[in-house]
Amino acid sequence: MTAQEMKNNIKASLQRPGSTGNLANSIFAERISELAYGVGNISYLDENAKYWRAINYGSNHMVGKQMPAGTFAPGIAKPDGGSFRAGRFYEGVSQGGSMWSPFVRIDKPIQAHNYIERTIAKLSSIAERAKK
């Protein structure tokens, strides 16, 4: 139930259309001892959803740095404030969306979605539901 709650929290905070659901699909429960389960295998997330930390905690630390660029498709080269979240990011090769360049400077941080913290805040109610 905790893994499903975390998946729901991730899905509820999606901001870009066309999400593949990769982060939510990378969350699962696994037995870590005879009496305990864990949710969110960090090694698995680091390999399959490398951006999980940036989505949960935000990316203020990346402002001012450069990263490999790509395109947002569909999208336009310089979107206005109302449509800057439109499109899905494709690294490297142009997908017919916004203009491509070899690198991009990060000017705005990713907002923290706090899906881990929101799930932890509901653990008591999850445990109560599990008892029924």
Q: For residues 94 and 74, give the distance between their C-alpha atoms in angstroms, rounded to a whole number.
A: 11
Greater confidence, 98 or 77? Answer: 77
Greater confidence, 121 or 89? Answer: 121
Q: For residues 54 and 62, give the distance between their C-alpha atoms in angstroms, rounded to a whole number.
A: 9
Domain ranges across the chain: 1-60+109-132, 66-105
pTM above 0.85, yes or no: no
Give me the percent of the chain exceeding a pLDDT of 90: 41
Q: Indicate the residue type of 5.
A: E
* Confidence (pLDDT) at 101: 54
Give me the percent of the chain exceeding a pLDDT of 70: 71
Q: Could you tell me which of 101, 48, 50, 46 has the C-alpha nearest to residue 72? A: 101
pLDDT in tens, 86-95: 655 555 554 4
Q: Indicate the residue type of 123.
A: L
**33 class by beta-carbon count within 10 Å (0-12 exposed, 13-18 middle, 19+ buried):** exposed
Find the mean pLDDT for residues 2-19: 90
Whether 63 contacts 107, CB under 8 Å: yes
Greater confidence, 28 or 79? Answer: 28
pLDDT in tens, 24-62: 999 999 999 998 989 999 999 999 998 899 899 988 777
Whether 26 contacts 52, CB under 8 Å: yes
Sequence-ordered list of residues with C-beta below 8 angstroms from that of 74, at least 6 positions apart, any chain: 86, 87, 96, 97
